[in-house]
Amino acid sequence: MSNFDFQKLIRPHLKDFQAYSSARSEFRGKADIFLDANENPYQSVGGGYFNRYPDSSNIEIRTKIAAHRKVEPNQVTVGNGSDEIIDLLFRAFCEPKEDKILICPPTYPMFKTSAILNNVGTTEVLLTPNFQLDTPNILNAIDDKTKIIFLNSPNNPTGNLLNSDDIKKILNSFNGLVVLDEAYIDFADSNSWVSQLDNYPNLFIIQTMSKAWGMAGLRLGLGFGSSDIIDILQKIKPPYNINSVSINWALKAFDLIGEKYQMVELIRSERIKLSSLLNTLPYVKKVYDSDSNFVLVKVTEPDRLYNFLLEKGIVVRNRNKLPLCEGCLRICVGNSDENKALAKALKAFE
């Protein structure tokens, strides 16, 4: 069992931090006239009622998400995209120029980008050739300055789930925080680790409305952790980080969850078609199994294929330069028409 101690994780200057107190959060009771937040009393320019600040605690949407994932509202936070939550984790737990994080490339680039922005060092332990965690080397690479290990399952850009036993071993052996980014979990045949939160106080999970929910433009990331961790993230976040439009759409989306399940099924069936097609092409060396909404494929001439697709007006992600991904393109599963156009272009490449 890990010797995780929240008091050792939090940056010392934040231990007694008093959060910014927004005008509306100081008000208790019932009122009809609000002259406390220097807002405009009229309708917004162009119509609509966005003249009032949103609730800074985000409690309504946090309660909805908590019910959906079967946790308590004080175990949930929301960010302006998951990328804001990643940044908040650095600001809460990593002392610049002193602390470090550990990542397992190839993985989601924002973990390292956020570390650089926060002037925090990064230790890198490559995934194994079959894109799983190299647990012995990860545990060897940890020292007392390592505050956070970022894992991504299903992993971007490889597309696969990480083995649960490796994740458990790391959770049990590491005294810092294990952040598990589950942006693509809805596309996988596996349950979220959110149900394990009470068993692992050093587990923090990130999810997003940007993928399976089809709401990338609304920028809504979800964070799940112990109430201690959530409490400090709620204190240090910008007061009005989530706008009213995003909150209202997300509240509605949780009441229409069937639509999400339908889209996920559609994307999963298109993914199977795409993988099957790729497997028939002579220049394809390997199609990696995917638990996500994209497929990683190794080809003989990745740069030439990338440019060929671009000439046909189709943009995919060239991952050829990443370690373990030499020769690879990452292709997101589009809708049926987009996938037909992609298939036609792929067949024309020689």
Ligand X SMILES: Cc1ncc(COP(=O)(O)O)c(C=O)c1O
Least spacing, CB of residue 152 vs ligand X, in Å: 5
How many other CB atoms are there within 10 angstroms of residue 104's CB atom? Answer: 25
- Minimum distance from CB of 45 to ligand X (Å)? 28
Taking CB atoms, the residue at the shortest distance from ligand X is: 81
* Closer by beta carbon to ligand X, 56 or else 293: 293
In whole angstroms, how close is the CB of 116 to ligand X at the nearest point?
A: 17
CB of 110 to ligand X, least distance (A): 7
Q: Are strands 328-332 and 294-299 parallel, antiparallel or unpaired?
A: antiparallel
CB of 85 to ligand X, least distance (A): 8
Report in angstroms how near the CB of residue 77 gets to ligand X at its nearest.
13
| Distance in angstroms (rounded) separating the CA atoms of residues 257 and 269 | 19
Q: Which residues pair with 298 in a beta bridge?
A: 286, 328
3-state secondary structure of 329: strand
Q: Distance between CA atoms of 59 and 74, rounded to whole angstroms? A: 9
Question: What's the Cα-to-Cα distance from 56 to each of 6, 235, 315, rounded to whole Å?
Answer: 25, 10, 38
Q: Which residues contact ligand X by CB under 6 A?
A: 81-83, 108, 152, 156, 181, 183, 208, 210, 216, 221
- What is d(CA 332, CA 293) in angstroms, rounded to the nearest whole number? 6
Give how far Cα 1 sits from Cα of 141, 174, 229, 319, Å: 19, 9, 19, 37
**End-to-end C-alpha distance for the chain, whole angstroms:** 55
- The owner of tokens 């940056």 is 11
Question: What is the sign, positive or negative, of the torsion defined by CA atoms of 27, 33, 36, 38?
Answer: positive
- Exposed / middle / buried, residue 283 (Cβ in 10 Å: 0-12, 13-18, 19+): middle
Q: Smallest gap, in angstroms, from Cβ of residue 209 to ligand X?
A: 7
Query: Nearer to ligand X by C-beta: 11 or 247?
Result: 247
CB nearer to ligand X: give 254 or 349.
Answer: 254
CA distance 332 to 84: 23
The token pair at 327 is 């020769």
